A and B are shown apart, each in its own frame.
Chain A
Amino acid sequence: NAGVMQNPRHLVRRRGQEARLRCSPMKGHSHVYWYRQLPEEGLKFMVYLQKENIIDESGMPKERFSAEFPKEGPSILRIQQVVRGDSAAYFCASSPTRSYGNEQFFGPGTRLTVL
């Protein structure tokens, strides 16, 4: 059973470009979470999605950031008009259900560098 997959692993963008980060959850998992980690910091929650639904986006910046988890295909975190402050590691996690006691399994992350 493959783990959580994220691609690309490294992404370089110039200021003003768009960044698209993909996350394929573990097989059978229908809950996806996105976290961002700035250098020397812990992970910060961004958004929680189920298939075709955004459950909680309280950690997402109000502008330029969006996320989706379509019925088919991976979850996408999209950052429009990137700025240098968006440079960070973005981690995706998945879990099978929202029941208490389920752990979230993390992917290897996408490291975004904005020039």
Chain B
Amino acid sequence: DAKTTQPTSMDCAEGRAANLPCNHSTISGNEYVYWYRQIHSQGPQYIIHGLKNNETNEMASLIITEDRKSSTLILPHATLRDTAVYYCIVRVVSGGSEKLVFGKGTKLTVNP
């Protein structure tokens, strides 16, 4: 079962920041939070990941709360091409294995 919960859908105006929330209240201390997105039905595209510190790269910023029970993905200037399903994922590592556990994600629609 997914260890994250996200809103089903969100809208954002083109050029504005898109803030996508995620709850992961049962996350373990050594589990990373990953964000991927899927445009149409293409393969998921990696965006960013973090453990407990905030992270930023050329695509987005990831803000993780101090208790690590939630996080927010920020797309600073959303474009129409950012319309996609965004998945907040906990990377589960146990018993010598590891896997990404996907939920249903947030469908972000960027409007002109």
A interface list, Cβ under 8 A from B: 4, 33, 35, 41-45, 48, 55-56, 58-59, 89, 91, 93, 98, 100-101, 103-109, 111
Contacts and interface: CB of A to CB of B under 8 A. Distances in A.
Given A42-B105, A100-B32, 20 more contacts: A4-B43, A43-B102, A44-B102, A45-B100, A48-B98, A55-B96, A56-B95, A56-B96, A56-B98, A59-B99, A91-B43, A91-B44, A100-B93, A101-B32, A101-B49, A104-B46, A106-B36, A106-B44, A109-B41, A111-B41
Contacts, number: 64
Interface string B90-108: 0001011111111111000
Given A4-B43, A100-B93, A106-B43, A42 B49 contact: no
Q: How large is the interface on B (under 10, 10 to 19, 20 to 34, 35 or more residues)?
A: 20 to 34
Contact of A45 (B95, B96, B99): B99
A98 B42 contact: no
Contacts of A105: 46
Given A100-B93, A101-B32, A43 B44 contact: yes
Interface in B18-49: 30, 32, 34, 36, 41-46, 49
Contact of B42 (A42, A43, A56, A108): A108
A104 B100 CA distance: 9
